[in-house]
Amino acid sequence: MFFTYLRRELRRRRKAALVVASGLALGIALVIVVNSVSAGMKQAQGEVLESLYGLGTDMTVTKAQEEPEEGGAVARPRFKFDASDGGEQSNDMLMVQGFETLSTSTVDTVARQDGVANAVGGLSLTSISVSGDFKPGEMKPAQPAQPGQKGSGGSGEVRGGGADFGVNSFTVFGTDVTEPELGPLTSSTLTKGRTFKTSETDAKVAVLDSAYAKKEDLATGDEVEVKGKKFAVVGIATADKGQPAANVYIPLKQAQTLADAKGKITTVYVKAADSQAISAVKDAIQKNVPDTTVTTSADLAKTVSGSLDTAAGLASTVGKWLSYAVLAAAFLVAGLLTSSAVSRRVREFGTLKALGWKSGRVTRQVVGEALVNGLIGGALGIAAGLAGAYAVTAVSPTLTAELGGGLRVAGPGGGGPAQDAAERTLDIALSAPVSLATIALAAALAIGGGLIAGGFGGWRASRLRPADALRRVE
């Protein structure tokens, strides 16, 4: 009897049911789209941080930046040439990025801290090669004095000559080949050849970034020169997201030897035993490892700016509040419409009560109708929300992420500890993934909306008396 009456009433009041369901559908669809876009924003921000850190890395430890002494000279590379005889000149230099290093013993100290699962060191370098030639100038004799002028025309002057030099630079990262699961190289996927063997701690082998290999027309089996030493290219790797950590990867021991930095590293990459305890691990390292700066993904996230950060802020604040406001308005309108519909059905419900229906049965009938309207609105809202999320993913708008704020991190393009994060700019394609949790939330909202609307109408229906129906009889 309940379902028969319910079906008949819904058929008889299609328009009213459609209005209530459409209002709920609009609010639910907006919630789905906003939650999906927010999830896409978080995913995009995660991609940015992964491209900066490397997969599996929770934090990095670098040398604390020291205030320069007053009047002290800033360390800069110096190239010296002997141009007395002219001719071709060249000078290769392999510099530690940032000119600040830590002792390799820092890795063991960090690894011993509570909550640290693993730690590995790396050395970030920049190779700069300057080559060219000097052309001596020619001495031109002085012109003889003209009649009427006193003295000669001078002792002559140098004309012509000059210098023509080219600069070639690329980044080098000394990686600990005994720990292949941690470090910047893990943020790239091997596409050709192989990666380092754990036994190649002092071997002259190299893995190249695919973009650099293409630019220099290098392939596996070729050789790449680093400060006059030739390294056999054993593999080509492609950065998964964003920029690569370096152009050339070589074993850490070789990098230390070539850069005259034996026993030195620039960065310690740390993996925490528990991802929920990263903050505690950071505090322990900062307390027990002096003169270091610890940077976590949360620290990096605070410095992400650009259109990605702006859009994420809008989605998490304006978007969510707007969707909740629309949803609340939809619930209110659905409740008022249901209550209004009950008012128009006074004669019907009064007659049913006169025939023996209890107030609870009338209330359940109204709530049942409203709940079905809510389920219909939920189905329409989920369909519209999925369509909206799919449209965002299909369009894939490109957002820009800039890492700034003066934070010194080990990032792509070399990962040097003194590399300013403000120079990092990445383009991220936005998607709007819809999770099962979001669908479950939409279903719960549909049921909740139906119950709220039914509550309005049920309360109104429960107050009706058989006498109310008689007043409406003409």
Confidence of residue 252 (pLDDT cuts 50, 70, 90): very high
* pLDDT tens digits, 113-129: 988 989 999 999 988 88
* pLDDT tens digits, 186-203: 878 899 999 999 999 999
pLDDT at position 5? 59
pLDDT at position 255? 92
Average pLDDT over every residue of 10-30? 75
Residue 408: DSSP 8-state: B
Average pLDDT over every residue of 325-340? 71
pLDDT higher than threshold 70 for residue 103: yes
How does the average pLDDT of the chain come out, rounded? 74
Name the more confident of 11 and 380: 380
Q: Is 397 helix (H, G, I), strand (E, B) or coil?
A: coil
pLDDT at position 204? 94
Dihedrals phi, psi of 152, to nearest 5 degrees: -90, 180
User: Tokens 């991220």 appear where?
Assistant: 428
pLDDT at position 455? 72
Name the more confident of 80 and 215: 215
Dihedrals phi, psi of 127, to nearest 5 degrees: -100, 125
DSSP-assigned letters across all residues of 203-216:
--EEEEEHHHHHHT
pLDDT higher than threshold 70 for residue 289: yes
pLDDT higher than threshold 80 for residue 451: no
Confidence of residue 374 (pLDDT cuts 50, 70, 90): confident
Handedness of CA 278, 282, 288, 289 (dihedral sign): positive
Confidence of residue 410 (pLDDT cuts 50, 70, 90): very low
Q: Which helix (H) or strand (E) holds 338?
A: helix 320-344
Confidence of residue 87 (pLDDT cuts 50, 70, 90): low
Average pLDDT over every residue of 344-350? 66
The count of other CB atoms within 10 Å of the CB of residue 149 is: 9
pLDDT at position 196? 94
pLDDT at position 415? 42
User: What count of Cα atoms within 13 Å lies in the side-chain half-sphere of residue 151?
Assistant: 4
Confidence of residue 157 (pLDDT cuts 50, 70, 90): low
Average pLDDT over every residue of 397-403? 66
Residues in the chain: 474
pLDDT higher than threshold 80 for residue 91: no
* pLDDT tens digits, 416-425: 333 433 345 6
pLDDT at position 235? 94
pLDDT higher than threshold 90 for residue 230: yes
Rounded to whole angstroms, how far apart are CA atoms 81 and 267? Answer: 33
pLDDT higher than threshold 60 for residue 68: no
For the chain, the helix, strand and coil percentages under 3-state DSSP, each to the nearest 5: 45, 25, 30
Average pLDDT over every residue of 324-332? 73
Do 263 and 104 touch, CB atoms closer than 8 A? yes
pLDDT at position 457? 66
Average pLDDT over every residue of 447-456? 74
Quick one: what percent of the chain has pLDDT higher than 90?
A: 18
Name the more confident of 199 and 77: 199
pLDDT at position 305? 55
User: Tokens 């310690």 appear where?
Assistant: 268
User: What count of Cα atoms within 13 Å lies in the side-chain half-sphere of residue 216?
Assistant: 19
pLDDT higher than threshold 60 for residue 315: no
Distance of CA 255 to the CA centre of its chain: 30
Average pLDDT over every residue of 400-422? 44
